[in-house]
Amino acid sequence: MADADVNAEKDPSGSTSLSSKRVKERRHYTEDCLQDDEIEGRRMFTVEDKVTSPAFTCSFVKEMKGEDFTLKYLQEHGFEYPLLFKSKANMGMRLPSHNFTCNDVRQCVGSRRILDVMDVTTQKDIEMTMKDWCRYFENPNRDKLLNVISLEFSHTKLENYVESPSLVRQVDWVDVVWPRHLKESQTEGTNAIEDMKYPKVQKYCLMSVKGCYTDFHIDFGGTSVWYHLLRGQKVFWLIPPTKRNFQLYEQWVLSGKQGDVFFGETVEKCDRVTLNEGDTFFIPTGWIHAVYTPMDALVFGGNFLHSYGIEKQLQICQIEDATHVPIKFRYPFYREMLWYVLQRYVQCLLGINHLTCNEDGDPIDVAKRGSSQQMQAQQQPGSTGGRSFDGSSFLDLSTLSPKSNGAGASSPTVPNEDSLDSAEEPCRRTFPPGHVHLTRREVDGLRMQNLKSSVLPVPAAGAGTVQQRQRGSHNFHTRITCPTKLLKRCGQCTNACLTLNCRLVAVATRHKMPLKAFTR
């Protein structure tokens, strides 16, 4: 849940200088001396004034009940606006009791766990141990405003107390498309990239003292956020993800003068909403937001990518490129995730599997994969490939169904469909059992024209070096062959642009291919 604009100020150079800077900043905290960067980081506006200003209303946020927030709702309405739930009932969450404290967090993650702690005055990070943080948090006499917003606690004892909402687990790409055996092989509780086996961003603990403020930012990779306030209070300012607002945001970040102006006053519309104890909040892809803490707060939440915001997720990735966000503060294995997503869509729409190993990590025999899956389909009619689905939660859109041959019906025009049907390697069509359609909102995200060249190459399988991992080239996890026949050539470059457009849907429709919902 690290913020992009704050991270953009960090030095993206080599690991040595970054490490030296951390040591220096940590020494600054322990010596309790005011540095020049603290003076430069002071704001020219008062956040408390923005909390009470009548200029910010609450018109974007929609209040809902847990029983109404289902997969069917997501398919019908998408995920366009922030959602507020005053009760956690019927959301499938698991959370600790109200009296859970910072010290309880320490006991679960360990006293020696190193935390990235934000200095609110400078909006920069320092490092502290969990033991030192608890001592600071529980001391009412604080000489500085410090904020913990990036403690990811999966694979620690704390994860036994927290479970994300069930709908999040249904659509999160980490649970839907990332190889299961890689996630299950994760044992390290920290977020050290060299030990990470999957995008470890699903469970965060946030601990903020009264007066903390996180400036406007977009969550990394365009991830959506679920956010439960166990104790305390939070105030959010929310700006919709429009093209104009993205342009203003980029200019504001690159100006380096975030402390001179409250960004919410530079856009046409900015909402404000106050969260109280027990509230659960969802922020969709791309919403620019700032957060203030009126009283000490303890929060649990998580980030997730999904198929209902693909276009904006890719736009945010480009904004991160433009604003020079360091690799450390971006979504881990983003490039690999896109290729696994592409493979999943190809399999659902065309029945072709390009993975070289199954969910258990065992190699797949390409020549036998088709016959084995077809045999499984015959033995288990009406099944859904080993996954549990609720038929009532999916829509069968007529626009994606095969057209009848009756009067007035017309077959869709499919340009160059022969080129899509022909494969360079002997890939068998292996449609998953069952017959459930992808919905319009899931398919819309496939119509992106291209990605930047920096994310185009197919990651090669291999061990990968530590240097490659630090640069974000995490190809040592990739086990996917290139579906080159599904890549569209860009006229301005020689690279294949990662493109899946509506032609694939038309091909699947015309050939009456069964489609599978892109959910777990």
Residue 520 lies in a domain: no
Average pLDDT on 261-282 reads 96
pLDDT tens, position by position, 450-461: 444 444 333 333
Same domain flag for 306 and 380: no
Report pTM: 0.71
| Cα(103)–Cα(130) distance, integer angstroms | 9
Helix ranges, 263-309 (H): none
- Domain end marker among 283, 299, 329: 329
Same domain flag for 199 and 341: no
| Cα(219)–Cα(308) distance, integer angstroms | 16
CB 117 within 8 A of CB 127: yes
CB 440 within 8 A of CB 77: no
Residue 517 lies in a domain: no
| Cα(299)–Cα(280) distance, integer angstroms | 10
Residue 55 lies in a domain: yes
Domain total of the chain: 2
Question: Tokens at residue 3, please?
Answer: 């913020």
Same domain flag for 309 and 361: no
- Domain end marker among 285, 305, 329: 329
Give the distance, in angstroms, between the CA of residue 72 and the centroid of all CA atoms in the same chain: 21
Give the distance, in angstroms, between the CA of residue 258 and the centroid of all CA atoms in the same chain: 25
Same domain flag for 345 and 312: no
CATH of the domain at 90: 2.60.120.650
Q: How confident is the model at residue 156 (pLDDT cuts 50, 70, 90)?
A: very high
Residue 474 lies in a domain: yes
| Cα(502)–Cα(400) distance, integer angstroms | 10
Give the distance, in angstroms, between the CA of residue 73 and the centroid of all CA atoms in the same chain: 20
- Domain end marker among 329, 363, 397: 329
Report the C-alpha dihedral over residues 31, 34, 40, 46, rounded to 10 degrees: 110
Report the C-alpha dihedral over residues 260, 299, 211, 137, rounded to 10 degrees: -130
pLDDT higher than threshold 90 for residue 263: yes
CB 338 within 8 A of CB 448: no
Q: How confident is the model at residue 23 (pLDDT cuts 50, 70, 90)?
A: very low
pLDDT tens, position by position, 216-249: 999 999 999 999 999 999 999 999 999 999 999 9
Which 3 state secondary structure label does DSSP give 429? strand
Same domain flag for 383 and 457: yes
Average pLDDT on 69-80 reads 91
Strands 204-208 and 213-217, sheet pairing: unpaired
Q: 156-178 as b/e, with b when 16 or more CB fall inside 10 Å?
A: bebbebbbbbebbbbbbbbbbbb
pLDDT higher than threshold 90 for residue 209: yes
pLDDT tens, position by position, 384-411: 333 333 333 232 223 333 333 343 333 3
Same domain flag for 286 and 383: no
Amino acid found at 398: S
Which residue reads 């996890």 in tokens? Answer: 477
CB 283 within 8 A of CB 82: yes
Same domain flag for 21 and 134: yes
pLDDT for position 291? 97
Residue 440 lies in a domain: yes
| Cα(467)–Cα(16) distance, integer angstroms | 13
| Cα(147)–Cα(52) distance, integer angstroms | 22
Q: Please report which helix (H) or strand (E) contains residue 367, including its range.
A: helix 366-379
Which residue reads 């009126």 in tokens? Answer: 294
CB 182 within 8 A of CB 282: no
Same domain flag for 278 and 372: no
Domain that holds residue 372: 336-510
CB 239 within 8 A of CB 270: yes
CB 370 within 8 A of CB 377: no
Which 3 state secondary structure label does DSSP give 413? coil
**Lowest-pLDDT choice from 47-56, 83-92, 199-208, 501-510:** 501-510
**Of 315 and 484, which is predicted with more confidence?**
315
Q: How far is CA 519 from CA 38, 255, 306, 348, in A?
A: 46, 40, 9, 11
pLDDT tens, position by position, 423-436: 344 444 454 444 44
| Total residues belonging to the chain | 520
Residue 203 lies in a domain: yes
Q: Which residues contact 218 (CB under 8 A, 6 or more apart)?
A: 3, 4, 241, 249, 286, 287, 288, 289, 316, 319
Which residue reads 């997730």 in tokens? Answer: 304
Same domain flag for 325 and 382: no
Same domain flag for 411 and 387: yes
What Rg value do the Cα atoms of the chain yield, rounded? Answer: 24
pLDDT for position 302? 97
Average pLDDT on 45-53 reads 91
Q: Which residues contact 287 (CB under 8 A, 6 or more apart)?
A: 82, 218, 238, 239, 240, 241
Question: Tokens at residue 328, please?
Answer: 């450390």
Residue 518 lies in a domain: no
Q: Which residues contact 477 (CB under 8 A, 6 or more apart)?
A: 179, 182, 197, 198, 333, 336
Residue 401 φ then ψ, to 5°: -90, 155
Half-sphere exposure of 120 (CA within 13 A, CB side): 21
Amino acid found at 35: Q
Residue 476 lies in a domain: yes
Same domain flag for 287 and 407: no
Same domain flag for 351 and 323: no
Average pLDDT on 104-119 reads 95
Give the distance, in angstroms, between the CA of residue 433 and the centroid of all CA atoms in the same chain: 29
pLDDT for position 437? 52
